[in-house]
Amino acid sequence: MNLKRYMNEILVILSLLFMFAAYFYKHHQVSQQTIQNMETKQMLSQLKEVISLKKIWKNKKVTKKIKELKNIVSSSKLHWSQKQNKITATYTKLSSSELNKLTTKILNTPVIIRLLDIKKIGETYTVEFKCKW
């Protein structure tokens, strides 16, 4: 008997609970959608960057720029190995000015640097460099 007496109040409470549940569900879906949109934008920007880098790496002028690395120091200080689009170079007995020229040139070329190891031995430097494009 008491339930019939409070039936309207029970219906109001149930409808309020349903309304709050619907509100929280909607809020959760909207926040998930914004997160997903941000992730998609970030992936698109990364994809655009990769595409632009691939265009740069396919450019034939890159090969010419890399071959200029041979001419920075004398051939007696250089061990050079090139296989297709991969280079392994070892520079030995470099002075500080030669090292500065070499590192500046390396860092300004559009290549993927796999290894750049610089060691100081006394007053001279040894550089091991591996890259691909």
CATH number reported for the structural domain that contains residue 64 in this entry: 3.30.1360
Do 15 and 76 lie in one domain? The reply is: no
- What pLDDT score was predicted for residue 71? 87
Structural domains counted in the chain: 2
| Residue 97 in tokens | 């000015």
- What pLDDT score was predicted for residue 84? 84
66, with CB counted inside 10 A (0-12, 13-18, 19+), is buried
Do 26 and 81 lie in one domain? The reply is: no
- What pLDDT score was predicted for residue 64? 85
Write the CA distances from 33 to 46, 102, 125, integer angstroms. Answer: 20, 49, 54
Q: Which pTM value belongs to this model?
A: 0.59
Do 74 and 126 lie in one domain? The reply is: yes
* Radius of gyration from C-alpha coordinates of the chain: 32
Of 42, 58, 74, the one marking the end of a domain is 58
Mean pLDDT per block of 10 residues along the chain (133 residues) reads 83 96 97 97 95 81 85 90 91 93 91 93 94 87
